[in-house]
Structure 1
C-alpha cells in the first residue's frame, strides 16, 4: 500500500461559548485543518491539525501555525515527500517529512495521524494497538474553564460537576487577585471531592508574581500548577518555591525539551500533545523518554474535534504515565446524547457518532484505526 495523494479541508465548528486563555484572548477555537490521506488500495485515513497562530514556545523557540499554513505545507511539501511510501512505515514517513520541512509540527501531525488511521484500518486494529497496546479504556476529563468572569466560571463548573466531571481546570495568568478568588470560590462551591488544577499559560509577569499567586491558591487545595510563566529557567525558580507540582506545557514540545526540564528541575510533569512534537510517532517517543526520567503527564491539546480527539485518546490509552486528568473533549455531534457542559466545547462535530462519557472519563473509540467515521457533509457545512 502506498500514499497517492490527499485533500485538506479547512473547517470552523460553532463553539458552545468563547474559550480563551492568557496567550490566546481573541482567536476563536474550532478553526482547524482536516486532512484525508489516500492510498493506491482505496483506503483513506483522516488527520486533524488544531493550529493556532498565537500558540508556540517561549522566546520564539517554537512559533505558531494556522490552518492555512498547514494546508499549504501538507499539499506543497509533506504529501509530495511521502507519495509512494507505505503509511504504516511511520518512521520513514517522518524522515521524509523532516527532510523537506523544518519544524511545522502541526502540519506533520495531521499527516502522521492519517497514516496511523490507515495503518490501523489495514491491519484491523485500533491505533492504540499500534502504539503498544491499550492500558486503559478512557481518560479522566478535566473540564476547562476559559478566562471568564468568576460567577460564570462557578456556574459552569457546577453544571459540569453535576454531569460527572471530577476535575476542573482553571485558566489563569492575567489577574492574580481574580485567579485566587476563582479557586477559593470553586473550592467553596465544589467541596473536597473535586480536584482543581490551574493553568497560567505563561501569563504571569514575574517569578515572584507566579509564586505568590500559586501559594495563595495552594491554601484551597490545587493539585497542579501548569506553565505559570514563560521559560524553563523561570519555571525552575517557581518549582523551587511552591509545594504543588509544576507542569510544563509551552515549554514541552519535544523530547529534547523534556531533558532540559528534567536537568533544571523545572517540572515534575508535562502536557503531552499529539501535535506539539509532530504526531503520534514523536509523541510516543517523548512520553516514553519522559517515563525513563520519571516524568508523568496528561494528554494535552487545543480543543480538538473528533478526529484529533480520537488520536489524543489512543495516545493516552497506550502511554503508561498518562495518569493525569486531561482536557480531552467529550466529542458530541449535534443532537447526540451525552453531557451538555462537561467536556463539551462545540455545538457539533465532524464525526458521525459521539464519544462515550462514563464515570468522569471520555472513552477511547473502538474499531480499527482511529475508530471514527467522518461525516463529509459536515466538512462541507462548516467549510471556511
Structure 2
C-alpha cells in the first residue's frame, strides 16, 4: 500500500458555547484541519489537527500553529516527503517528516493519525492494537467548564453531573478570588463524591500566587493542580509547596520534556496528547517514558471533532498510565442520542455515529483503524 495524496479540509464546527482558558480568550474552538490520506489500494485514512495560534509550549519552546499553517506544511513539505511510502511504516514516515521540516508537531500529528487509520483498516485491526494493545476500552470523562461567569459554571457543572459526569475540570488562572470561590461553591453544590480538578494554563503571575490560590482550593479537596505557572522550574517550586499532585501540560510535549520534569521533581502526572509530540507514534513513547519514571497521565487535547477524539481514545486505551479523568469529548452528531452537556462542546460533529457514554466514561470506537465513518456532507457543510 502506498500513499498517493493528502487532502486538507479546513472546517469549523458550531460550538455549544464559547470555551476559553487563561491563554486563549479570543479564538473559538472547532476550527480545525481534517486530513484525508489516500492510498493506491483505495483505503482512506482520516486525521485531524486542532491547531491553535495561541497554544504552545512554555517560554516559546513550542509555538502556535493554525489550521492554515497545517495545510501549508502538509501540502508544501510533508506530502512530497512521504508520497509513495506505506502508511504502515510509521517510524519511517516520522523520520521522513522530521528530516524535511523541523517542529510543526500538529501538522505531523494529523498525518500520523491518518496513517494509523489507513494501516488499521488495511490490517483489519483497531489503532489501539497497532499501539500495542488495549489495556481498557474507555476513559472517565472530565467535563471542562472553561472560563465563564460563575453562575454559568455552577449550572453547567450541575447539568453535566446529572447526566453522569463524575469529574469537573475548572479552568482558572485569571482571577484568584474567582478561582477559589468556584471550587468552594462547586464542592458545596456537587457534594463530596464528585472529583474537581483545576487548570491554570500558566495563568498565575508568580509561584507565590499559584501556591496561595492552590492551598485555599485544597481545603475543598481538589484532585490535582494542572500547569498553574509557566515552565518546569516554576512547576517544581509549586509542587514543593502544595499537597495536591501537580500536572504538567504546556511543559510536557516530548520525551525530553518528561525527563526535565522528572529531574526537577516538577510533576506527578502529565497531560498526554496525541498532537503535542507529533502523533500517536511519539505520544506512545512519551507515555512509556513517563510511566517508567513513575508518573501517571490523563489524555489531553484541544476539543477535537470525533476524528481526532477517536485517536485520543485509542491512545487512552493503549496507554497503561492514562488513568486520570480526561477532557475527551463525547463526540455526538446533531440529533443523535446521548448527553446534551456532559462532554459536549459542539452542536454537531463530522462522524456518522455517536461515541458511547456510560457510567461517566466515553468508549473508544470499535472496528478497524480509528473505527469511525466520516460524514462527507458534514465535511462540506462546515468547510471554511
Q: Is the TM-score greater than 0.5? A: yes
**Aligned ranges 1:304-383 → 2 under 5 Å:** 304-383=304-383
The residue number in structure 1 matching 2:264 is 264
Distance 1:168 1:60 in 2: 29
Q: CA deviation at 1:58?
A: 1.2
1:117 and 2:108 matched: no
Give how far 1:137 is off: 1.1
| Higher alpha-carbon deviation: 268-277 or 71-80 | 71-80
Structure 2 gaps of 5+ residues are: none
1:46 matches 2:46: yes
Residue 164 of structure 1 corresponds to: 164
Whole-angstrom CA distance in 1 between matches of 2:223 and 2:319:
21
| Partner Cα separation in structure 1 for residue 80 and residue 280 of structure 2 | 20
Cα distance between partner residues in 2 of 1:320 and 1:6? 32
Deviation at 1:278, TM superposition (A): 0.1
- Matched residues in 2 for 1:72 and 1:206: separation? 37
SS in 2 for 1:168: strand
Alignment partners' CA distance in 2, 1:35 and 1:152 = 35
**What's the CA shift string for 1:254-304, capped at 9, x where partnerless?**
000000000000000000000000000000000001111011100000000
User: What is the 5 A alignment of 1:175-324?
Assistant: 175-324=175-324
For residues 376 and 72 of structure 1, the distance between their equivalents in structure 2, rounded to whole angstroms, comes to 22
Please give the secondary structure, in 2, of the residue aligned with 1:297: strand
CA–CA distance in 2 between the matches of 1:94 and 1:79?
A: 12
Query: Which whole-Å CA distance do the structure 1 matches of 2:102 and 2:6 have between them?
Result: 21
- Does residue 91 in structure 1 map to residue 91 in structure 2? yes
User: In structure 2, how many angstroms separate the alpha carbons of the residues matched to 1:330 and 1:282?
Assistant: 25
Name the structure 1 match of 2:16.
16
Task: Give 3-state SS (helix, strand or coil) of 1:42's partner.
Answer: coil
Q: Distance in 2 between matches of 1:293 and 1:85?
A: 35
Distance 1:101 1:353 in 2: 36
- Residues of 2 paired with 1:260 and 1:183: CA distance? 31
Cα RMSD for the two superposed structures:
0.4
Structure 2 Cα separation of the partners of residues 222 and 216 of structure 1? 10
CA-CA distance at 1:223 after TM superposition = 1.2
Q: Provide, for residues 144-173 of structure 1, a one-character-per-residue CA deviation record: whole Å limited to 9, x for no partner.
A: 000011111000000000000000000000
Q: TM-score, normalised by structure 1?
A: 1.00
1:235 aligned counterpart, secondary structure: helix
Number of residue pairs the alignment of both structures matches = 384
Distance across 2 between alignment mates of 1:126 and 1:342: 26
SS at match of 1:192: coil
Say which SS state the counterpart of residue 365 (structure 2) adopts.
Answer: coil
The 1-side partners of 2:327 and 2:153 are apart by 16
Q: Which residue of 2 is the match for residue 80 of structure 1?
A: 80
Shift of 1:210: 0.1
Q: CA deviation at 1:243?
A: 0.1
Query: CA offsets per residue over residues 67-100 of structure 1, 9 Å max, x none?
Result: 0000011111111100111100000000000000
CA-to-aligned-CA distance 1:157-203 (integer Å, 9 cap, x gap)? 00000000000000000000000000000000000010000000000
CA distance in 1, matches of 2:75, 2:361: 36
Once the two structures are TM-superposed, the CA of residue 375 in structure 1 deviates from its matched residue by 0.5
TM-score by length of 2: 1.00
Matched, 1:174 2:174: yes
Distance 1:342 1:105 in 2: 29
SS state at 2:224 partner: strand
Give SS of 2:220's match.
coil
Q: For residues 237 and 55 of structure 1, what CA distance do their matches in structure 2 show?
A: 23
